[in-house]
Amino acid sequence: MNQIKKFLIIGFVWPEPNSSAAGGRMMQLISIFKENGYEITFASPALDSDFMVDLDEFGVAKKSIELNSTSFDDFILELNPDVVLFDRFMIEEQFGWRVSENCPKAIRLLDTEDLHCLRTARQKAFKENRTFELHDLLSEEVAKREIASILRCDLSLMISEFEMEVLNDVFKIDSKLLFYLPFLVNKMTEKDLLELPSFEDRKHFVFIGNFLHEPNWNTVLYLKEVIWPSVKKQFPEAVLEVYGAYPSQKVLQLHQPKDGFLIMGRAADANEVVKKARVVLAPIRFGAGLKGKLLEAMQCGTPSVTTPIGAEAMHAGLPWSGFIENDIEPFAKQAVLLYQDENTWKQSQKNGVIIINECYQKIKFSDKLIGAVNSLLTDSESHRLHNFMGSLLQYHTLKSTKYMAKWIEAKNKKD
């Protein structure tokens, strides 16, 4: 009889699949390992939130942990996991050395979510009103931290093929350390489209996104100040509903019913909101990774208009489920066309089904992921032997971070 393998996830936050794409992705990962017989514990130093999932309902043990505390050492020694997944590089920085010291044989996985250094460098270039170049990444402090984290782990789960190319070409990361894992959904058929609200039964444009994420706030501001006036000039009756978790006061102040620009706050059910809308607008100007809101739109049969950044690495060169435009007037023009022309709208819907089935089918990736992890469990020594830079960074991080953490812990006790 096979021994049940223990899987520990150390989360940056508790999963909120209704608040962000990151939360949805985490639940997808939990689902894959659960289906393959892993016993899962989810630990996080974050405070509980009103919108976190009840992990118990998914058969996942929940554990609150502390930063800079030997209590984590006691916890992980007792749990003795076979596999540890770090949710973003910041978590690996905090807990990676403790995992390495207490459970050296445990396979260390990193879920990057998206490449933070890419998002940061693009945001900086945008704010400085200059064109982003890939070599900008080499001077980013966060890149040094993130790349070090990737090298220290046995395998990093990458959501974007473009980001894998960046890691290969710019940072010379060995492909054996990277595993492509996009968002994962079930196969969709044109019959599924017929069960969704029809063109006639839908109304309004919609944008949806978590406002703790800077690219989302910037997108809504851009919509309000630039894109929406152009849409309204061509289509005076147009209404845009903006949904999102954690809206700040500056977001709420954009609410202008007379302009058809409505700030709706958190969506009780994001899927229902998107299904009832006719078109998703997402003029994203900087960011990284895959855009969960755009995949969700395809699943809901709702065509979208977005930018090249928004659609980056999302459709494998297949015709987009709507339009991809970078300039203001064409963006607004295509948004109105998509809203008013039923034939264009229906073809865009069908394009979305093709993209889902070609690029995001869960069945295409889940077995490969389990196979990669099982291979590491079988032969981690050889894998690590060939990752000399990772071993080197692990050694020095263990020395430096360990003593910094112990100093902080001692200081906290003293205070």
How confident is the model at residue 415, as a pLDDT? 64
* Dihedral sign from CA coordinates of 68, 72, 74, 80: negative
- What pLDDT is recorded for position 399? 63
Residues 6+ apart with CB under 8 A from 346: 199
Q: Which residues contact 143 (CB under 8 A, 6 or more apart)?
A: 117, 121, 137, 171
**pLDDT on residue 393:** 83
Pair 199, 101 in one domain = no
pLDDT at residue number 284:
97
pLDDT, position 264: 97
Count the Cβ atoms, other than its own, within 10 Å of residue 198.
11
Residue 375 lies in a domain: yes
Rounded to whole angstroms, how far apart are CA atoms 376 and 359? 25
What pLDDT is recorded for position 388?
Answer: 85
49 belongs to a structural domain:
yes
Q: Are residues 257 and 324 in the same domain?
A: yes
Domain identity same for 264 and 131: no
Q: Do both 10 and 152 map to the same domain?
A: yes
Of 327, 342, 359, at which residue does a domain stop?
Answer: 359
Q: Which of 308, 318, 301, 319 is closest to 282 using CA atoms?
A: 308
Q: Give a yes or no: residue 58 inside a domain.
A: yes
**In terms of domains, do 366 and 353 share one?**
no
> Residue 412: its pLDDT value, please?
76
Residues 6+ apart with CB under 8 A from 131: 125
Q: What is the pLDDT of residue 138?
A: 96
Which phi and psi angles does 359 have, rounded to 5°? -110, -20
Q: How far is the C-alpha of 88 from the C-alpha of 113, rounded, in Å?
A: 6
Alpha-carbon gap, residue 13 to 41, rounded angstroms: 14
At 197, give phi and psi (nearest 5°). -55, 140
**Which of 28, 351, 41, 378 shows the shortest CA–CA distance to 190?**
351
In sign, the C-alpha dihedral spanning 137, 141, 146, 151 is positive
Last residue of a domain, one of 342, 359, 376: 359
271 and 202 housed in the same domain: yes
Determine the angle formed by the axes of helices 89-102 and 71-79, rounding to 10 degrees: 70
* 159, 182 Cβ separation under 8 angstroms: yes
In a domain, 386, yes or no: yes
Q: What is the pLDDT of residue 385?
A: 87
Q: Are 390 and 152 in contact (CB under 8 A)?
A: yes
Compute the residue count for the chain. Answer: 415
Give pLDDT, residue 150. Answer: 97
By residue range, what is the domain housing residue 387? 6-184+362-414
User: Which CATH number characterizes residue 385's domain?
Assistant: 3.40.50.2000
Q: Are residues 346 and 241 in the same domain?
A: yes
Q: Are residues 334 and 391 in the same domain?
A: no
Is the domain of 176 the same as that of 197? no
Question: Same structural domain for residues 197 and 112?
Answer: no
pLDDT along the chain (415 residues), means of 10: 85 92 93 96 96 96 95 97 97 94 96 95 96 96 96 97 97 97 93 94 96 94 98 98 94 96 94 97 96 96 98 97 98 98 98 97 94 95 88 73 69 71
How many helical (H) and strand (E) elements, i.e. helices and strands, does the chain have? Answer: 18, 13
How many structural domains comprise the chain?
Answer: 2
Q: What is the pLDDT of residue 1?
A: 40
Is 1 a domain residue? Answer: no
Is residue 79 included in any domain, yes or no?
A: yes
Which residue, of 359, 386, 402, is where some domain finishes? Answer: 359
pLDDT recorded at residue 61:
98
Same domain, 51 and 159: yes
**pLDDT, position 409:** 73
Residue 212 shares a structural domain with residue 298? yes
